[in-house]
Amino acid sequence: MYMAEFKLRFGSLKWYVRRIVEAKSFEEAKELAERYAKAMNKGEVSWELADIYESDKPLTLTEELVEKLEKV
């Protein structure tokens, strides 16, 4: 399981959202997340893939997850 982080822009506003990506490999997760961002770019909000993380529990904040993200 992977977690994709997307950067969203609307005019001068910018924020980030995360989505769970179910894929068998990092490459497959990245491709799927890029396709998702492209599909979401049909409105006024601009979606851009920022990063992909491998994660066992993407919705649970743990000490291990925070340490892993701090190293990136």
Whether 64 has a pLDDT exceeding 80, the answer reads yes
Whether 68 has a pLDDT exceeding 80, the answer reads yes
| Total domains present in the chain | 1
Dihedral angle at the C-alpha atoms of 63, 47, 45, 66, nearest 10 degrees? Answer: 10
Q: What is the pLDDT of residue 70?
A: 86
How far apart, in whole angstroms, are the C-alpha atoms of residue 57 and residue 7? Answer: 21
Dihedral angle at the C-alpha atoms of 42, 43, 47, 53, nearest 10 degrees? Answer: -80
Q: What are phi and psi of 7, to 5 degrees?
A: -100, 125
Tell me the pTM.
Answer: 0.74
Whether 58 has a pLDDT exceeding 70, the answer reads no
Q: What is the per-residue pLDDT across 6-49, written as a single tens digit (0 to 9) for each?
A: 999 999 999 999 998 989 999 999 999 999 999 999 889 999 99
How far apart, in whole angstroms, are the C-alpha atoms of residue 17 and residue 8? Answer: 7
13 lies in which domain range? 2-71
